[in-house]
Amino acid sequence: MTQSPLTTAKSRQYFARATQVLPGGVNSPVRSCQAVGVDPIMIDRADAAYLWDVDNNRYIDWVGSWGALILGHRHPRVLEAVEVGLRYGTSFGAPCLPEVELAELICHVMPAVEMVRMVNSGTEATMSAIRLARAYTKRSSIIKFDGCYHGHADSFLIKAGSGLATLGISSSPGVPAELTRLTISLPFNSLPAVEQAFKKHADEIAAIIVEPVVGNAGLILPAPGYLEGLRALATKYGALLIFDEVMTGFRVAYGGAQALYNIKPDLTCLGKIIGGGLPVGAYGGRKEIMEMVAPSGPVYQAGTLSGNPLAMRAGLAQLKSLQNPQTYGELSRNTQRLADGLKEIADKATIPLTVSSITGMITLFFAKSPVDDFSAAQKADTALFSKFWQGLLCRGIYWPPSQFESAFVSLVHSKADIDDTLTAAEESIAACCE
């Protein structure tokens, strides 16, 4: 495989139009590709593990709608569910059976979730979970972790990952200083830092919110005993433990990271995979906590499109398709094959590279040593990553356009897709070494 220039005239033309009517030409910052020094390609269509841009260039897709499409694009079972739903109607603004069925499935698979509220995005889920935790504990402060991204609600835009890390923004204008004082941001994987925060603010901290596997600063795994330690500290000091599994839910295991690590959080936030590619979010947990949500209790939260029948049907179809016991073994093998290949390339390279992976997720860091927190991730060479990413794109590989994002492996990525990606990666890294 050799690098060949892409024909992207239509992409450039359409993106120029987009910049006139959309801030930065996009509706989510990382998509702008500013971090990798190019204008974004404009996608026209997708199928299975592939994307085609408006100039008809084909790419192997390792973004997968940022993790939502674990079955790949246009999976027949998901399409069929949506097509059936279209015949019944796109939105009711009233209760419907699919939302009940999806809630029942989630509660069955995740024992920590006894009751769940459907919403429309991961941001809405985490924002609502924090409000609920504050009401339940009658406390105001929260603990989050540097580099973890929990959506764009005000409370979370302090030392956050994802687009903020990509664009070098540590906080955001428009967030009142008074509110930032209620958020304590600590280094990930440091239990002493959490213990110290509780000793100093024990009666103020309502909750710990954490990505159990960090995916928004690049992929960072929890150290052995870390999640267990968070569970113990939250219990000791009377705070709630919230797992943000918007990314990891039904990806790293069928029951999410909480099943993989055998930890029972008080509240769980979900999104992405549970919507089958349609906009969705959810938060749930112990019944005594969730019954505080209106109309059962006084904590208000509402949404016109919450429990949208199309999203519920698509999510149900995707989750049911993942129930085969062999599914996650296959996903793990696909991920490991890609990770092993990248590690072999990294071992030969004359530039610093390290690979982090878990079932369904992977990051190639341009860093000297394994990355175990956001501070280590920030030491990665983003200029080299930019050059690498451009090399991949020109070779037909669509990798997340940021050093601080995870790539996502799907069940439809073939051995040939992985081999082609590894060839492209080796050539791109060789070019970076020149």
pLDDT tens for the chain, residues 1 to 434 = 445 567 899 999 999 999 999 999 999 999 999 999 999 999 999 999 999 999 999 999 999 999 999 999 999 999 999 999 999 999 999 999 999 999 999 999 999 999 999 999 999 999 999 999 999 999 999 999 999 999 887 777 765 544 454 444 456 677 777 778 889 999 999 999 999 999 999 999 999 999 999 999 999 999 999 999 999 999 999 999 999 999 999 999 999 999 999 999 999 999 999 999 999 999 999 999 999 999 999 999 999 999 999 999 999 999 999 999 899 999 999 999 999 999 999 999 999 999 999 999 999 999 989 999 999 999 999 999 999 999 999 999 999 999 999 999 999 999 999 999 999 999 999 999 87
Residue 317 falls within a domain, yes or no? Answer: yes
Which domain, by its residues, includes 165?
76-321
The verdict on 162 and 217 lying in the same domain is yes
The residue from 264, 299, 321 where one domain ends is: 321
Residue 370 falls within a domain, yes or no? Answer: yes
| pLDDT computed for residue 166 by the predictor | 45
Residue 239 falls within a domain, yes or no? Answer: yes
| pLDDT computed for residue 367 by the predictor | 95
The verdict on 245 and 138 lying in the same domain is yes
Q: Which of 149, 226, 254, 261 is catalytic?
A: 149
Residue 69 falls within a domain, yes or no? Answer: no
| pLDDT computed for residue 6 by the predictor | 79
The verdict on 40 and 91 lying in the same domain is no
Q: Which of 50, 272, 381, 387 is catalytic?
A: 272
pTM score of the predicted model: 0.95
The residue from 284, 301, 321 where one domain ends is: 321
Q: Which of 53, 61, 146, 244 is catalytic?
A: 244
- Please indicate whether residue 272 is annotated as part of the active site: yes
| pLDDT computed for residue 2 by the predictor | 46
Residue 352 falls within a domain, yes or no? Answer: yes
The verdict on 342 and 385 lying in the same domain is yes
The verdict on 169 and 303 lying in the same domain is yes
The CATH number assigned to the domain holding 138 equals 3.40.640.10
| pLDDT computed for residue 151 by the predictor | 87
Q: What is the 3-state secondary structure (H, E, C) of the chain?
A: CCCCCCCCHHHHHHHHHHHHHCHHHCCCHHHHCHHHCCCCCCEEEEEECEEEECCCCEEEECCHHHHCCCCCECCHHHHHHHHHHHHHCCCCCCCCHHHHHHHHHHHHHCCCCCEEEEECCHHHHHHHHHHHHHHHHCCCEEEEECCCCCCCCHHHCCCCCCHHHHCCCCCCCCCCHHHHCCEEEECCCCHHHHHHHHHHHCCCEEEEEECCCECCCCCECCCCCHHHHHHHHHHHCCCEEEEECCCCECCCECCCHHHHCCCCCCEEEEEHHHHCCCCCEEEEECHHHHCCECCCCCECCCCCCCCCHHHHHHHHHHHHHCCCCCHHHHHHHHHHHHHHHHHHHHHHCCCCCEEEEECCEEEEECCCCCCCCHHHHCCCCHHHHHHHHHHHHHCCEECCCCCCCCEECCCCCCHHHHHHHHHHHHHHHHHHHC
The verdict on 93 and 127 lying in the same domain is yes
- Please indicate whether residue 244 is annotated as part of the active site: yes
The verdict on 361 and 415 lying in the same domain is yes
Total of domains in the chain: 2
